[in-house]
Structure 1
Amino acid sequence: MRLSDFDFDLPERLIATRPARPRSSARLLVATPDRIEDRIVADLPDILRPGDRLVLNDTRVIPARLHGTRRRGEAVARIEATLIEDRGEGLWAALVRPLRKLREGETVEFGEGLSARFEGTDAEAALLRFALSPEAFAEALARAGSMPLPPYIEALRPADDADREDYQTVWAARDGAVAAPTASLHFDRPLLEALAARGIAFTHVTLHVGAGTFLPVKVDAIADHRMHAEWGEITDEAAAAIAATRAEGGRVIPVGTTAMRLLETAAQASGAVEPWRGETDIFITPGFRFRASDGLMTNFHLPRSTLMMLVSAFLGLERIREVYAHAIAAGYRFFSYGDASLLLPGGR
């Protein structure tokens, strides 16, 4: 398949720069192979069935965007860095702009007691060494950093203090992501309570979302694209809970493409989800055989993106084109702070 198969025109006015308030008031497009319904996220307890299980990504977004300065005698250069991977012992891979302003061994001062030594580059990123203990580093980063909003939002406005709460799920628990699992941003405590009262269960898994989620696909033949790896974990308890839901006839519905990619990475040919821990670079495109996911709640994605390929694989390329055409015509808000969809290939 070609990259152009996943293209569409989106009016800029439909790019959401702020989330709905309250979170669960966002619109929800429910799509099956033969029906499209316009609902809101707060309707989920009425849409899902008792016995269904939602799989939630509990990664926590770190304030990974840093602004600092490099001094070279009297010359001062402004440096922006986005941390993308913890390499251990204070070393982080980062996207740095402008990289040409740094020489190996130079120090970048980010303020709030946070500085880093530039140790060159590897194949994918700049390498920054922070000389702080993990605890001191986390505290300094919380003061100095800002939330790493996606480029399509930052092109319209800068990150601010509101994003520290808005760009984090209410159940975030494990530091490590540099992008939010955005479908999960629609959930608030009242919605979680209503779902539980309806008999809908929750299981937490972890996938630390990396900056690769924002990188464009640069090849025309999608089979030539290579995904960036992201670290994830499905615990013994999570795998057992998913197995119990399947055994009792309930549906397993990941909230977000990150949770889906993790489930499908750990799924066996039988459909059983095994405990799993490691890095996944799974690339889901049309023709993929889904083993673990009965539905998917997700936001509306960028054209020509790997996430458009994933939802096209799940519901069918032609059906997704119909779903997106409906969403655009109906004025749904797109991307990270936008509205949501619930895709159910097996129907309601």
Structure 2
Amino acid sequence: MAQQARPSSSTSNSDAWKAGLRPPPKDYRPQTEDVTATKGVEFEDMNLRRELLMGIYEAGFEKPSPIQEEAIPIALTKRDVLARAKNGTGKTAAFVIPSLQQVNVNKNKIQALLLVPTRELALQTAQVCKNLGKHMGVQVMVTTGGTTLKDDIMRLSETVHVLVGTPGRILDLAGKNVADLSECPVFVMDEADKLLSPEFAPVMEQLLSYLPKDRQVMLFSATFPMIVKDFKDKHMKSPYEINLMDELTLRGVTQYYAYVEERQKVHCLNTLFSKLQINQSIIFCNSTNRVELLAKKVTELGYSCFYSHAKMLQSHRNRVFHDFRNGVCRNLVCSDLLTRGIDIQAVNVIAST
């Protein structure tokens, strides 16, 4: 399956970048009704701190997207939130902004815990926190499995206001009494359907026991299976429910399905490369061996290509992700590492083999 986003007219000045391998323009993002169909609420209407507003505008946010319009004012009242919205519509800022607004930078305690299912999404979410909170003096820490525990312990000996990470590592730090969550009033789960899957659910239950009973819980996801309802009934207090999911696919995204034999897949990809106007592409495979094999074949076809999978060293994966995001390479072959919430603005073609 391949998906192609239709470019907006505002990207016409990016031709010079498309012809080379420089990073994409900062404002490169196809705008669809999922983002533009707002009620006219402004960030200034939300009574946000001036320092936070400065970070919001400097990050390129002009007006709230629909999910931000709906979620931020409610979250600022410290009410629990259960929100469904499509990926690519601004969910991250919808929970980062109210989380930052509630931080008291004069208090040397973790005051917001933002949980995500993957290392790459943790790095991205932490960067959003740092960008939006740059004028607040807020201290943001990201922690994930696959990194040195000693470094995390040393970092937590210093001030941390917002902790972003994957559940297993944060539970490890809390269980060792290194991460003190006893005065953390904000608990956020992004990609909540994944975090409440059998793989993570027991960890989530244990993590909640380290937080105060009087806490705000916010769940964000594109899909909410039955297991989310069970969690809501058990751990949330009259949550405000937001559902902006009239359909799963973003407007402006065209999907194609090609049914081909295994031996024809590389040829099919080559045809797509020659027919589509590709700024950057991500190609998903279901095993590490297939990732490396396909990346090799794509390179042999004459296209620049990186690959990433779970068996690689974390430092190597981080470098690949960083370089791909910055436009060093046009194509990335990977396993399911980047299927959750990753925002790379220049990617306009996604394929799954």
Shared fold, TM over 0.5: no
Q: What is the TM-score of this pair, normalised by structure 2?
A: 0.29
Q: What is the TM-score of this pair, normalised by structure 1?
A: 0.30
